[in-house]
Structure formats: C-alpha cells, structure tokens
Amino acid sequence: MTDRAVLASPNIWNWPDIYERENEAIDADGAVWAALAAQVDWCGADVIDIGCGDGFHLPQFARRARSVVGVEPHPPLVVRARRRVCDLPAVQVRAGCAQQLPIPDCSVDLAHARIAYFFGPGCEPGLAEAHRVLRPGGNFVIIDLDGSQPPYGQWLCAAAPRYRPAAVEAFFAAQGFDCRRVDTVWRFRDRRELEDVLRIEFPPKVAARAIAQTASLTIPVRYRLHIRRAPFLRGMQPYRRCGDLIPRADPGRERSLGQWTLR
Ligand SMILES: C[S@@+](CC[C@H](N)C(=O)[O-])C[C@H]1O[C@@H](n2cnc3c(N)ncnc32)[C@H](O)[C@@H]1O
C-alpha cells in the first residue's frame, strides 16, 4: 500500500473525537440503516466495512452478522477501531486499503463503504477488489452524500468546486449500481457540537456560511446508497435490484450490464 493509495480524510484523521460526535449526530433517526436493511439482509452474513475509520459502524453490523472485518489504512484509526471492538469476538480490524483488501477471494456476502474512498471516477481499483472478495450473489453498498441536495450539498460543492454530484452518480450507474436516496437528519445536542462538526467538514469560509444558515440544532442531509449485486453464477444474469429475479441469459450469448459481461 502506498500513501498515494490512501485518500486524506482530515476530518477523522485530525479530529477523531469531533468525528465521533458527528457520527452520533448523523442519521439520528436511523434512516440510513433502515434503507440499508431494506435492500440487504446481513443476518448470519460475512461483512466487510471498507474504510471503516475508527470502526463506528462495526458493532451495528456485528449485531446480526456472522463475522465482520473492518479495513482501514490510517494506523491511528486502526488502533481506535480495534479498541472499540475488543469485546466483539466476531469482529476484526485489518490495516489495508480498498485497492488491496486483506481478505481472500469470495469470502464476504456484503461489502460496505461509507463516505470512504469510493467517490466516483478513480475508484475502479477498489470496485474490482470488492468484486473479487464478494461471493456470488453478494452485495456491494457504497454510501455517499448527495451533493445535489441543499443545504448540505451546496456547502459540499462550495468546498470542492470540482465535485460534480451528477457525474458521480452517472459513474456508479455505468458500473452497474442502482441508486437509492435517503433523507436523514443530523441532530446535535448543542450549538457548540454542531459548529465543531461543520468546521471539521468545510474550509473556514464555507463553514461560517453553513453555521450562519443553520438556525436550529438539526441539518437535513440526503445520502445515496449505490447498490450492486454480484452475479450468482457464471451464465446467470445478475440481479439488478434486490428481489428482482431475472431469467438466465441465453446460453452462448454475451450480454453486458455495467461492468459485468455475461456469457
Ligand atoms: C470520512 S472517513 C469515514 C470512516 C467511516 N466509514 C465512517 O463512516 O465513520 C473516510 C475513511 O476512509 C479511509 N480511506 C482513505 N483512503 C482509503 C483507501 N484507499 N481505502 C480504504 N479506506 C480509505 C480514511 O482513512 C478514513 O478513515
């Protein structure tokens, strides 16, 4: 793993304690988890969380999964994540990155990545790795912020002017992902917490604007769930959406869907 393979994440790298408050405030009503559970059942499954940070989401997966592996490239976060899950025997945290996952081929049923590495064009090596480690019929779910939805999306685009939400969405669609939008509420305990979080997410000018535009202790934030299911068997068409059974491809005919080429 080279440093170039790792995307700097100043928010959680530099301010892990504030990021912990952020993770607690995010999705205060559990809408992202509910949307994820509506698409994918990880009960008894083997799960990988790619770019797990300090492991905030690992215990939630562990409540239902058979095993959970968190993969994280930033060494101090690996230490924090291991500390978080030390009482959970079914959970391991491995140092590694999305482009070179430290687990065998066909070894997980669900690959999950939340606001980590998979931000559109350029993440193809990680997509290929997720494909390698997924069992046939397994699901890959990438969760990111919907930059097209105000107010948060406007702040996001102001902070990263080259970021194009529609282009990112088109990229994942072309890779065979379906997209679900999830409206959430970030809910903070007090004003100080809200302002601290906005200051670690955005450069000073954008943070000041976000703070000025937020009168209450809540911020509506829309997420996207990009979901792709690995084909069950060679010769069988992949599921386009969870629950949609699609008949076998005709033998001898090649068809393509996103990155899959089916024979
Ligand atoms: C914004 S944090 C999100 C952490 C966690 N998913 C969460 O929701 O709390 C992004 C994480 O991606 C990690 N990351 C950066 N480059 C990566 C890569 N190439 N492969 C996997 N993770 C990466 C960072 O170190 C950081 O922990």
CA distance 85 to 80: 9
Q: Which sequence spans correspond to the domains of the chain? A: 3-230, 233-263
- Tens-level pLDDT at each residue, the chain (263 residues): 455 689 999 999 999 999 999 999 998 899 999 999 999 999 999 999 999 999 999 999 999 999 999 999 999 999 999 999 999 999 999 999 999 999 999 999 999 999 999 999 999 999 999 999 999 999 999 999 999 999 999 999 999 989 999 999 999 999 999 999 999 999 999 999 999 999 999 999 999 999 999 999 999 999 999 999 988 764 444 433 333 333 333 333 333 333 333 32
How far away, in angstroms, is 12 Cα from ligand 1 center? 8
Q: Which of 77, 117, 119 to mutate to test the pocket of ligand 1 (most atoms within 8 A of CB)?
A: 117
| pTM across the whole model | 0.89
Per CATH, the number for 3-230 is: 3.40.50.150
Degrees to nearest 5, angle at CA 52 with 204 and 39: 105
Ligand 1 neighbour 6 (Cβ under 6 A): yes
Q: Angle, nearest 10°, between helix axes 152-159 and 204-212?
A: 160
pLDDT reported for residue 170 = 96
Residue 171's alpha-carbon distances to 23, 102, 131, 215, in angstroms, are 27, 26, 16, 35
Ligand 1 neighbour 12 (Cβ under 6 A): yes
pLDDT reported for residue 233 = 64
Residue nearest (by alpha carbon) to ligand 1 atom 14: 51
pLDDT reported for residue 173 = 97
Q: Considering only CA atoms, which of 34, 35, 9 is closest in space to residue 22?
A: 9
How large is the C-alpha radius of gyration of the chain? Answer: 19
pLDDT reported for residue 33 = 97
pLDDT reported for residue 28 = 86
Residue whose tokens read 């430290």: 102
pLDDT reported for residue 5 = 87
